[in-house]
Structure formats: structure tokens, C-alpha cells
Amino acid sequence: MSDIILINGARHVIWQCQTCGVFATCPEVVYDQQYAEGGFHFCPNGHQWGWRKDGCEREKLRRERDRLKQEEARLQQENQEAWATANAQRERAAKAEAATKRLKKRSSAGTCPCCSRTFANMAQHMKHKHPEFVAEGGTKVVPINKRRSVQ
């Protein structure tokens, strides 16, 4: 800001025209309002000087406030999406764990996981009736007597 002087008890800002170099005064209240809201004043030779509306202090603060509100909304949405994803993953894990537990319990009781029938000798049933069945881990169920020894 430029220098301040008192004229008839009112504060005025002294400023120099950037075009012709003439010094002029403007009431401090008007100068501050133009600085905050955007506006122009003129030198005695008619040259315009001041601030554009989009470059004024209030406009800058309004744009910053709007940007921060948008950023906050984006972060809240990301947070909600992360919670939803986490909840969905927890549900899938719980369902998979329940299904695994159910299959283990059924197979320990001799119930076939493929045809839901009960057998006294489950290994023999799997070998003859479901040779294509793939156990957990991606390996086929192979009876002990058919495994080849590694030499």
C-alpha cells in the first residue's frame, strides 16, 4: 500500500499513476474497498488504475474457499468408498470362511463335497466318482498309491 495522509480529517492514500507518473490521492475507504472487491480509480490525467474483479482479494478468498469445499467433498467420497470396499471384503472373507468351515465339517463327517452323499470311505469315492475334483490349492486329489516317487 502507498502512503497515507489526512485531508480535512479523512484518511487518503497517495498513489502514483503507472502511466504518466502523476501523484494522486484516493480516500482510504474507497481504496480498501477497490482492493478487496475489485475496482478502478483514475489519475488527474484520466489514466485508469486499480484491480480487476477476478483478481481482487475477496474473489481469491472465495475461489480458495470453493476449492477447499470441493477437496473436502472429494475426500469424504473417497473415505466412504474405502469403507464400502473394506466392508465388502470383510463380508466376502466371512462368507468364504463359513463355506470352508462348512465343507470341512461335512467332509469330516464323510459327506462328499460334490454330490452331498455320505460315504464311509470318502477317499475311495472321490477316486472313482470325482477324479476331476480339484482340492484347495489347485492340486488334484490323488490317492497315495498312485503318487510317483521322486528320485
Q: What is the pLDDT of residues 106-143, one digit of tens each?
A: 777 777 777 777 777 777 777 777 777 655 554 554 44
Is residue 87 within 8 A of residue 77, CB to CB? The reply is no
61's CB contacts (< 8 A; 6+ apart) are: none
- Side-chain-side CA neighbours of 85 within 13 Å: the count stands at 6
Q: How far is CA 134 from CA 58, 73, 99, 110, 141, in A?
A: 69, 48, 16, 17, 6
Query: SS3 for 7?
Result: strand
Cα–Cα distance, 126 to 105 (Å, whole number): 17
What is the Cα Rg of the chain in Å? 41
Is residue 118 within 8 A of residue 111, CB to CB? The reply is yes
Region 66-92: mean pLDDT is: 95
Q: 79 pLDDT band (50/70/90 cuts)?
A: very high
**CA-wise closest residue to 74 among 63, 85, 82:** 82
Residues in a beta bridge with 12: 5, 27
pLDDT of residue 51: 72
Q: Can you give the pTM of this predicted structure?
A: 0.42
Cα–Cα distance, 108 to 100 (Å, whole number): 12
**CA-wise closest residue to 11 among 21, 22, 2, 23:** 2
Q: Who has greater pLDDT, 52 or 6? A: 6
Region 57-63: mean pLDDT is: 80
Cα–Cα distance, 74 to 78 (Å, whole number): 6
